[in-house]
Amino acid sequence: MNIDNDFITQNNARILSGFQFQPRYRPEYKEHNKNDGAGHQEEIRLSADERRFLSCVFTYLYRKTLTEIYSEVGFSASKGTRISKKLERNLMVKIFNISKGKGTSKYPVLLLDAYKILNLEEGKFEGRGCGYEHLIWQHILSAHFREFKAVIELNRGNKCIDVAFEYQGKLIAIEVAITSAHEKANIEKDIQLAKAHSVIIGCKDVKILAEVNLIFGELGGELREKARAFVLSRILGMSIEELIGGAG
């Protein structure tokens, strides 16, 4: 395989192509009617600060934390918290708490009503079926392994890998397991189709880790030798040698 800078640039452009911010208008306020679930229409009005916040979330979606977004738009922590909480109550954003081991980071994600009021189309991701939290972790892991030119949704042998990179000439595959439902198939396809040297299953929590470890017992010898599983937050504190161990 060959993961060079041109490939990474083109691949990331493909993954993030839906998130180039091109607003079609710039009024200070925009009226937007929203159904309250009981058949009534509720008018939503955005202030200039709220619009700036949502636009910044859109620009750095899945890549920057809530605190980093506040800094980008020049909000104090108190002002940013007030605005983000109001927008969360109005179902414009959803904020995910992501445990990284030494603490918890908050990541804001735009919801459908925010796209409508900003007059933008929601980007399409190949891995979207697993949800927002899955996408956040893909970006966290790709940033963590940037020195190895990690790629999101690398396609090898018609198998898309959540995060993949080359180490010492060998393909390392990392799959994000928010649930354990598809991990047996991921391991089999990453090794048999994508020809991965090592498959790392990053598990949301210890419950998912226990389920994945049971799945390992169902694998054949060669597959089992090339697969390892850890809680996602632990991966962020491991060296590459610790991560792949004696796989393969």
State the pTM of this model: 0.81
Confidence band for 45, pLDDT divided at 50, 70 and 90? confident
As given in the structure block, the two tokens for residue 136 are 């956040």
Residues 172-212 have pLDDT tens digits of: 999 999 999 999 999 999 999 999 999 999 999 999 999 99
Is the pLDDT confidence value at 8 over 90? no
Element spanning 198, H or E: strand 198-203
**Stretch 30-39: mean pLDDT, rounded?**
52
Phi, psi of 41 (to 5 degrees): -95, 125
| Numbered ranges of CATH 1.10.10.10 in the chain | 27-122
User: Predicted confidence band at 44 (pLDDT cuts at 50, 70, 90)?
Assistant: confident
Residue 20 banded pLDDT, cuts 50, 70, 90: very low
Span 135-244 CATH architecture: 3-Layer(aba) Sandwich (3.40)
Every domain of the chain with CATH number 3.40.91.20 lies at 135-244
Band of the pLDDT at 101, cuts 50, 70, 90? confident
pLDDT of residue 25: 32
- CATH architecture label of 27-122: Orthogonal Bundle (1.10)
Of 30-34, 66-70, 97-101, 129-133, give the lowest mean pLDDT range.
30-34
The rounded distance, in Å, linking the Cα atoms of 16 and 10 is 10
Q: If you average pLDDT over residues 36-50, what whole number do you get?
A: 71
Give the model's pLDDT for residue 168.
Answer: 94
Q: What pLDDT, on the 0 to 100 scale, is given for residue 23?
A: 36
Euclidean distance between the first and the last CA atom of the chain, given in angstroms as a whole number: 17
Express each pLDDT in 127-164 by its tens digit: 555 789 999 999 999 999 999 999 999 999 999 999 99
What does the pLDDT look like over 83-95, one tens digit per residue?
999 999 999 999 9
Query: Which amino acid, residue 50?
Result: E
- Of the ranges 14-18, 62-66, 128-132, which one carries the lowest mean pLDDT score? 14-18
Q: Is the dihedral of CA 115, 24, 29, 37 positive or negative?
A: negative
pLDDT value, residue 39: 52
